[in-house]
Amino acid sequence: MGYASPKAPQPSFVVKGREMHYEPKKNQSHVKGDAHAIRTRPPSKTSPLPRTQTLTADYFQVNFSDLSDQQSSQAIDTIEAKGNVYFQEEDFSIRAEHCTYDCKTNIITCDGKVVLTKAGSTIEGQKATANLELDYYNVTGKDKSDTVQAVLMPNRLQD
């Protein structure tokens, strides 16, 4: 009789703030005031070293997976960050007014005066999506009349 191999556990977050509330019926936690979330991701195919991720904002809504059928603690699905949002991993950072970080896919989606920085180059716009697994970034304006501005450093975008 064979057994399915267990999925690798999600790296743990350390979440801090001035005030926290947990709503078990909604599988959510709310962090207010100087909200911080930090985790270290293990090495991967694209990065041979562990990577520390830091997310800060005025407010977080942490959404948990429904693990009622398992005997383990809850895993975080997404973190919705609002107000003075800042995310950093290695030489990548993003500032915005609102971001949703999908912890399982490692994709962060932001809006509201976005400033994305990668290896010294900066791109500014109103919306951004960053796939940190694939090292792919997309910045757009709010609508077709908006422009996106970039300051690109030669030979620094290549990894």
Between CA 84 and CA 138 the distance in angstroms is 20
- HSE of 156 in the Cβ direction (CA atoms, 13 Å)? 12
Judge contact between 23 and 30, C-beta under 8 A. Answer: yes
- Cα angle 119-99-13, degrees, rounded to a multiple of 5: 85
Between CA 78 and CA 63 the distance in angstroms is 5
Q: What is the pTM of this model?
A: 0.83
Q: Which fold has domain 14-66+74-151?
A: lipopolysaccharide transport protein A fold (2.60.450)
List the pLDDT tens digit at each of the 159 positions of the chain: 333 334 555 668 899 999 999 998 999 999 999 999 999 888 877 778 888 999 999 999 999 987 654 545 568 899 999 999 999 998 999 999 999 999 989 999 999 999 999 988 999 999 999 998 888 999 998 887 788 888 877 764 444
Say how far residue 143 (Cα) sits from the centre of its chain: 24
Q: Where are the domains of the chain?
A: 14-66+74-151
What Cα–Cα distance (Å) separates residue 79 from each residue in 28, 52, 106, 144, 148?
A: 10, 16, 11, 29, 26
SS3 content of the chain, % helix, strand, coil (to 5): 0, 60, 40
